[in-house]
Structure 1
Amino acid sequence: MDIRLLYLDGCPHVSVVEVRLKSALAIVGRGEETIQHVLVETPEDAERLGFIGSPTVLVDGTDPFATGDEHSALACRMFSTPDGRAGSPTVEQLAQVLSGDVPASG
């Protein structure tokens, strides 16, 4: 599994997403997986990488939280969670995506 964490320098949510990703990987029995960090610095990088805001999680090249209406942007990103909008998906949302159970969006 290829897991990439795309982010802007100084994004306050990157560390939260990383901790939650590691927890989710442990839950689904894939704790040995490596999370690749990718710094996005230019609009061209954002376009090329499918980056729609910081942080963006790509699993095997796909953003499971994208709805399809977004455009590439050097901006902060918010996610829909059971508790409302947040700067990171929940551990449970990430675990669902990583296990292949439920495709997430938003």
Structure 2
Amino acid sequence: MEIQLLYFDGCPNLHTAEERLTEALTLVGRPGQSVNLRAVETDQDAQAQHFTGSPTIRVDGNDLFPPTADTYGLTCRVYATPDGLAGAPTVEQLVQALSSNDQEAARVGTVAVRR
């Protein structure tokens, strides 16, 4: 499983997203799972990578929270949470998304490797 956390330099929500993702990975049985931080530096890079805002979390290339619009650029991303809009998903939302991702991988016959 490859996990990427995409961001732009100066993102005010990067550390919150990283901390919550680390906690969620532990809760789903993946403590110590590596997370590749990837800076998106230019608007051209954002367009090429279909970067919908910072922070974006992808597992095996797929956005854990697929956006409803195909708008790409160096912008802050907003997530709908139970407490309203926020700059990062909650730990609970991440646990749900990661668990769903594992279930989908098992359904299509992909082997999910626990680390």
Return 66-75 or 89-98, whichever deviates more.
66-75
Residue equivalent to 1:52? 52
Residue equivalent to 1:6? 6
TM-score (norm 1): 0.90
Point out where structure 2 has 5 or more consecutive residues left out of the alignment.
Answer: 105-115
Percent identity over the alignment? 49
* Secondary structure at the counterpart of residue 18 of structure 1: helix
Runs of 4+ in 1 over 2 A off after TM superposition: none
Residue equivalent to 1:32? 32
Q: Could you tell me how far 1:32 is from its partner in structure 2?
A: 2.3
Question: Which residue identity is paired with 2:61?
Answer: G
Q: For 2:38 and 2:44, how far apart are their aligned partners in 1?
A: 14
* Secondary structure at the counterpart of residue 62 of structure 2: coil
Residue equivalent to 1:72? 72
Q: For 1:11 and 1:100, how far apart are their aligned partners in 2?
A: 27
Residue equivalent to 2:110? none
TM-score (norm 2): 0.83
Which of the two has higher C-alpha Rg?
2
Number of residue equivalences:
103
Q: Could you tell me how far 1:41 is from its partner in structure 2?
A: 0.7
Does the CA contact (< 8 Å) of 2:52 and 2:75 recur in 1? yes
Residue equivalent to 1:84? 84
Does the CA contact (< 8 Å) of 2:64 and 2:98 recur in 1? no
Q: Deviations over 1:57-91 (max 9, x none)?
A: 11110112123313111111110001100000000
Question: Which residue identity is paired with 2:22?
Answer: K
Q: Could you tell me how far 1:44 is from its partner in structure 2?
A: 1.7
